Structure 1
Amino acid sequence: MDHSVDDDRIRGLDAAHRAALEFLGTLEERPVWPRATLADMLDAFGGPLPAEGMDAEDVIDEIVSRADPGLVAIPGGRFFGFVIGGTHPAALAADWLVSAWDQNSGSALLTPTTVALERIAGRWMLDVLGLPESASVGFVTGGQMANFTCLATARNAVLARADWDLSEKGLRGSPPLRFVVGADRHGSIDRAARFLGIGRSEITVVESDGQGRMRPEELSRALADGAGPTVVCLQAGEVHTGAFDDFASLVPIAHEHGAWVHIDGAFGLWAAASESLRPLTAGMSGADSWATDAHKTLNVPYDCGMAIVRDPADSIAAFRTGGDYLIYTSLDPWDVTPELSRRARGVPAWAAMRSLGRDGIARLLDGLHENAVAMAEGLASIDGIRILNDVDYTQVMFRLEQDDATRALGDAVLAEGTAALTGAEWRGRAALRCSMSSWATTRDDIDRTVGAIRTLVSG
């Protein structure tokens, strides 16, 4: 028997395993931000495709020998840029299995193991977050696609309530759709709207307060000024301040006007898992759909978003596909998302939740908040730095007195290498933002980061 194929696979996996452990072993001391540009890495990996191939082990060795300068220490404890979590050990290991199993997880009949793991992961998440247990959970690539999936479902549903069959008649001639958002919504909401054929001039923007929360009285005013199919987008975790909309007030107002309520909770939805943070989400369960992003707060590998819809029938109406060669059960993954073929991205979510347990998920959330508070206190002790937000959740936003100095400090932090944080703009002024998203962040990581920033500001 020819074992060359199996041997090549084993050697390749062994090489990847060694390289992965070596990379993870450098996280404590390596510069967090990459030390190479895209142009550098194009040069490193580019050139004509060679005529001759090579064994899997040699391919991995070649990648590893050139990749390091362009890698970011995202899995470490001092990456505070954007809103990107680390990777929980169980989730990382499960993700390796997902690739090895290579299951096309659109059909429950075709790949029952991975679909079952995803379905249970969804049920656990609904339970932990206090959302309706009968809701559908579709696993997509991230927060952007979770928002798109939920809003596509919403558009279909509110038009159906107005006796317009979108799948039959299309958008041309349909009743006008009112799309209502907060002034400080995330950009993925507008982008999802664009994907759905909703232009900027068709969006109704509702005023928000100083922390980015939609004002209930302004929503009432906006909804009273018009009628017809309506979708209202609320937010759990403003990306700069971490603020949560007042769902207990806003959801009933929207429903009084017959609106579908969607909540963008890319990183904030998980606050409901913590007893101390749960008040931030009061009234959240009354919405019609929710979007979240597990590679943020839950700390699973890329990619893993969740599109959650209260009534699975609405998801099926928007997404169930055709094709007489496909095999259907009562509810398949391809019934609730735009994808047919895809990897089993929900398996790492199952692994992370099973490893942490209900109490561990709560401790993870509490730890992220405690780290944010510690970071804010440390930064506030540095002369010239002002904290700009109420640190109620996981975000810390700060600035120096001058915009140019603030931006220069952000550049200096990335160049110095101890930590990574990213720039922002708040109320027309430059700001810097630390997002506490990683299970791996320790108090020592906070202290080292504050110390580095203190040196940069004083120097």
Structure 2
Amino acid sequence: MGAGRDAYEEPLARAHELALDWLASLEMRPVPPAESVESVLDAVGGPLPDGPTAPREVVEQMARGAEPGLMAIQSGRFFGWVMGGTLPAALAADWLVSAWDQNAGMRSPTPGVVALEETAGTWFLDLLALPADAAVSFTTGATTANFVGLAAARHAVLAGVGWDVEHRGLNGAPPVHVLAGVERHDSVDLALRYLGFGAPTLVAADDEGRMRVDALAAALDSVPDGEAVIVVLQAGNLHSGAFDPFVELVPMAHARDAWVHVDGAFGLWAAASPRLASLVAGMADADSWATDAHKTLNVTYDCGIAAVRDRAAVRDSFAVHTHYLAAADPEGPGNPYERVPEMSRRARGVPVWAALRSLGRSGVRDLVERLTARAAALAEGVRSVPGAEVLNDVVYTQVCFAFEDDARTTEVGARLIADGSTWISGSRWRDRGVLRISVSNWTTDEADVEQTVAALRRAAASG
């Protein structure tokens, strides 16, 4: 007999209470963690106990020990890196994914979660006006989503010059020229490294980080005739939020028989808003796309999404066939593991289904437009702070700003974090130290904007 409900009821009930306590604390608690890793280790570390501990007590110890070291990433005043919060339906769905504990790698053995994921993929393509017959992969994040798209690209462009990379590898393979903007995200470089390409050839960008049309034309002209090319474009620059000019770049790359991949970790979702349609014009003509659902869509962590126009290319890149795995119809969608690096995989697309179902088309549109409106409001507030200068054209969810010099910017940033009211990441852009606001949380409201600007004003006035 199985453990039954009784074995789970107490620890799950306590986890539920603790989760609600945590979520309720977000409005008032400081955004930064109160304790360091070393302090948390003192509470949760030490020797492994000789005997068992009751599950409820394990949950209590874990929460009590970790809580001082938790960052309030779900706070409406958290603007670090590019991290969203968690929609209620997505969080609840993620709990059920853990309770169901399905290995979502094969289609027929686990039809419940696979059907949810396939529906989420269909809705995703429709919502962002991507090709309806594209293959959709649910990955661990944007890095692996880029990996999926670029793996399919590697397969296709090498097949185009007569090389079977899955069987022959890269030793002795014809050259593949990977062209990417000078301001691409580092996850692109990681994915290329995993695929054996090394660093890309960098293409110049304008002041907002958009790939220059003339620079790509020159880079393509420098590639010898008949050699394979992959072009990596960007939807949403990390610092400025700017989008590459797809209308001009995509046809130019295709005229050279290049595969075009779009890294849209947070910017791909602009396609859900008619108001922002000009930012993504021409993007749907690319060959593959990558995004991170835990950013703009606000699902739980561990959920990237890749879409690939050429279904055969992604399947040929990842498929493995052995007798003990349930085969899928070769003419149908295939098994989920044939579109991702993992054979065993969590049903991470289920929270995407829940998020999209709870929001609907209008809700996703409103979410994206609300995030951009909050970014514009924050930029206006930053400009009102003496000495602060907004450095980018605020077209999406990113606000990049600095003070008179690097030392002053660093000083204000440190005071801002110490204040505890908000979290804004430091970075470096245009050869100067900057502070970068990334508006990604569905809960960020006008009060959060006001509190954040007030905290920045305090930090700038101190000392």
Give the TM-score of the pair, scaled to structure 1: 0.98
State the match for 1:22 in structure 2: 21
Q: After TM superposition, give the deviation of residue 153 of structure 1 in Å.
A: 1.1
Structure 1: distance between partners of 2:273 and 2:311: 27
Q: Is the 8 A contact 1:94 1:351 kept in 2?
A: yes
Task: Confirm or deny: 8 A CA contact 2:337 2:345 kept in the other structure.
Answer: no
Other-structure match for 1:342 = 345
Any gaps of 5 or more consecutive residues in structure 2? none
Distance 2:360 2:5 in 1: 37
Q: Is 1:235 equivalent to 2:238 in the alignment? A: no
2:186 corresponds in structure 1 to: 187
Cα distance in 2 for partners of 1:332, 1:168 equals 21
- Distance in 2 separating the partners of 1:91 and 1:372: 24
Percent of residue pairs bearing the same amino acid type: 51
Please say if 1:110 is aligned against 2:109: yes
Query: How far does residue 311 in structure 1 lie from its aligned partner after superposition?
Result: 1.4
Cα offset, 1:173, TM superposition: 0.7
Question: Which of residues 213, 236, 243 is equivalent to 1:216?
Answer: 213
1:274 paired with 2:273, answer: yes
TM-score between both structures, scaled by the size of structure 2: 0.97
Alpha-carbon distance between aligned partners in 1 of 2:187 and 2:386, rounded to the nearest angstrom: 36
User: Which residue pairs with 2:58 in the alignment?
Assistant: 59
2:436 matched residue in structure 1? 433
**1:5: Cα distance to partner?**
5.7
- Residue 3 of structure 1 and its aligned partner are, at CA, apart by 9.0
CA distance in 2, matches of 1:318, 1:407: 45
Asked whether 1:367 is paired with 2:370, we answer yes
Say whether 1:455 aligns with 2:458. yes
Residue 414 of structure 1 aligns with which residue?
Answer: 417
1:138 and 1:308 in contact (8 A); partners too: yes
Give the distance between the partners of 1:3 and 1:276, measured in 2 at CA: 54
Q: State the alpha-carbon separation in 2 of the partners of residues 53 and 260 from structure 1.
A: 55
Structure 1 residue 420 displacement after superposition: 0.6
Aligned to 1:54, the other structure's residue is in SS state: coil
> Matches of residues 40-79 of structure 1 in structure 2 within 5 Å?
40-79=39-78
Q: Secondary structure at the match of 2:275?
A: coil
Distance in 1 separating the partners of 2:162 and 2:202: 26
- Give CA-to-partner distance per residue, 1:139-181, whole Å, 9 cap, x none: 0000000001111111111000100011221111110110100
Residue in structure 2 matched with residue 244 of structure 1 by the alignment: 243
Partner of 2:379: 376
Tell whether the 8 Å contact from 2:237 to 2:243 is kept in structure 1 after alignment.
yes
CA distance in 1, matches of 2:216, 2:270: 24
Distance 1:65 1:251 in 2: 52
**Any idea what the Cα deviations from partners look like across 1:18-65, whole Å, max 9, x if unmatched?**
000000010001010111111111222110000011111111011111
**What is the CA–CA distance in structure 1 between the aligned matches of 2:376 and 2:103, rounded to whole Å?**
42
Matched, 1:225 2:228: no
Alignment of 1:159-170 (within 5 A): 159-170=158-169
Amino acid at match of 1:122: G
For residue 423 of structure 1, give the secondary structure of its aligned residue in structure 2.
strand
Give the CA deviation at 1:199.
Answer: 2.2
Instruction: Provide the C-alpha distance between the structure 2 equivalents of 1:368 and 1:278, rounded to a whole number of angstroms.
Output: 15
Any gaps of 5 or more consecutive residues in structure 1? Answer: none
What displacement does 1:66 show?
Answer: 1.4
In structure 2, what residue type is equivalent to 1:211?
E
**Is 1:257–2:256 an aligned residue pair?**
yes
Cα distance, 1:224 vs structure 2: 0.7
Aligned twin of 2:32? 33
Alignment length, in residue pairs?
456
SS in 2 for 1:123: helix
SS in 2 for 1:277: helix
Please give the residue correspondences for 1:125-204 in structure 2 after superposition, counting only pairs within 5 Å. 125-200=124-199, 203-204=200-201
Q: Is the 8 A contact 2:220 2:253 kept in 1?
A: yes
* 8 Å CA contact 2:44, 2:61 repeated in 1: no
